[in-house]
């Protein structure tokens, strides 16, 4: 499977599961006592930018879109698959709100972890804190790559990027069912819906991909990767 070497529009969070291994039995007990399992249906809002941040959200199952918004625009920051966590930036001292919104791209099962408990764990367990540091670094790096790609790659590169990322990193397969419509793909790639449609058509015309309903199939990841690299 070809992995992109340069910067990529792709943004997936690091798997959190290893973090929890660092907790002591006592802490795990506290953890279990202070978590809340919640289900979200496709399209439902998991957290809302600007709202009071009472908890971190661990994604057990599903796929979540994490995005910034203002009155007019939207910017998708990350795709968070199972194993990911939402809300870490709210741990900063200077704020007690969510800094971004999150929405379920498909039915999702999540755990709400009390923010005070979370803070307590970090402040008292250096191994856990180290893991969190790691997650934050990874997430930052992903964002950097995405930022660079969005600024310097053009539409075809970003689309190619995104398809490869979804195939390689979410589904681990060149064929997958993507629960996104054209509008949502546009949000994800930072393009207009029309551009997404035109680019996908071009890719189809050149037999790089096939699309049948929601089923995507990447026929030529090598070529797609070239497009992604070049621009």
User: Applying CB under 8 A, which residues contact its own copies?
Assistant: 6-7, 68, 70, 72-73, 75, 77, 88-94, 99-100, 122-127, 129-130, 132-134, 136-141, 143-144, 146-148, 150-152, 190
Judged by CB under 7 A, the chain residues 118 through 157 that form the site for DNA are: 154-156
Burial of 205 (0-12, 13-18, 19+ CB in 10 A): exposed
Identity of the residue, 119 or 183, whose beta carbon is nearer to DNA in the bound complex: 183
The torsion of the CA quartet 57, 58, 62, 63, rounded to 10 degrees, works out to: 60
The torsion of the CA quartet 36, 39, 42, 45, rounded to 10 degrees, works out to: -30
Q: What's the closest the beta carbon of residue 142 comes to DNA, in angstroms?
A: 21
Identity of the residue, 36 or 127, whose beta carbon is nearer to its own copies in the bound complex: 127
The torsion of the CA quartet 77, 83, 89, 91, rounded to 10 degrees, works out to: 170
Q: What's the closest the beta carbon of residue 115 comes to its own copies, in angstroms?
A: 13
Identity of the residue, 187 or 221, whose beta carbon is nearer to its own copies in the bound complex: 187
Judged by CB under 7 A, the chain residues 29 through 48 that form the site for DNA are: none
Residues that bind DNA (rule: CB under 7 A) add up to a total of 18
Q: Which does 129 bind (CB under 5 to 8 A by kind): its own copies, DNA, none?
A: its own copies
- Give the burial string for 51-80 (b: 16+ CB within 10 Å, else e): eebebbbbbeebbbbbbeeeeeeeebbbbb
Q: What's the closest the beta carbon of residue 74 comes to DNA, in angstroms?
A: 12
Q: What's the closest the beta carbon of residue 81 comes to its own copies, in angstroms?
A: 18
Burial of 22 (0-12, 13-18, 19+ CB in 10 A): middle
> What's the rounded Cα separation, in Å, for the pair 176 and 158?
19
The answer for residues whose C-beta is within 8 angstroms of residue 177's C-beta and 6 or more apart is 214, 215, 216
The reply on whether position 198 binds DNA by CB under 7 A is: yes
Q: Which does 75 bind (CB under 5 to 8 A by kind): DNA, its own copies, none?
A: its own copies
Judged by CB under 7 A, the chain residues 201 through 220 that form the site for DNA are: 201, 211, 213
The piece of 82-90, 116-124, 196-204, 215-223 that touches DNA (CB under 7 A) is 196-204
Q: Which residues are near DNA by CB under 7 A? A: 154-156, 181-183, 190-195, 197-198, 200-201, 211, 213
């Amino acid at each position: 499977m070809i992995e992109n070497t340069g910067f990529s529009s792709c943004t997936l969070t690091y798997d959190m599961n290893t973090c929890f291994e660092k907790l002591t039995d006592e802490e795990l007990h506290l953890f279990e006592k202070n978590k809340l399992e919640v289900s979200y249906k496709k399209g439902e809002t998991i957290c809302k930018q600007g709202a009071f941040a009472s908890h971190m959200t661990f994604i057990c199952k599903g796929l979540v879109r994490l995005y910034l918004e203002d009155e007019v625009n939207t910017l998708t920051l990350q795709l968070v698959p199972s194993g990911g966590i939402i809300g870490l930036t709210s741990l900063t001292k200077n704020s007690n709100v969510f800094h971004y919104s999150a929405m379920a791209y498909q039915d999702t099962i999540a755990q709400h972890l009390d923010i005070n408990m979370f803070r307590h764990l970090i402040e008292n367990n250096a191994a856990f804190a180290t893991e969190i540091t790691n997650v934050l670094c990874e997430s930052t790096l992903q964002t950097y790559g995405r930022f660079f790609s969005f600024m310097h790659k053009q539409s075809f590169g970003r689309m190619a990027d995104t398809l490869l990322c979804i195939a390689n990193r979410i589904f681990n397969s060149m064929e997958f069912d993507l629960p996104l419509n054209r509008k949502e793909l546009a949000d994800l790639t930072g393009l207009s819906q029309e551009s997404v449609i035109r680019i996908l058509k071009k890719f189809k015309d050149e037999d790089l991909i096939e699309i049948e309903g929601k089923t995507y199939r990447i026929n030529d990841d090598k070529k797609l990767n070239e497009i992604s690299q070049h621009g």
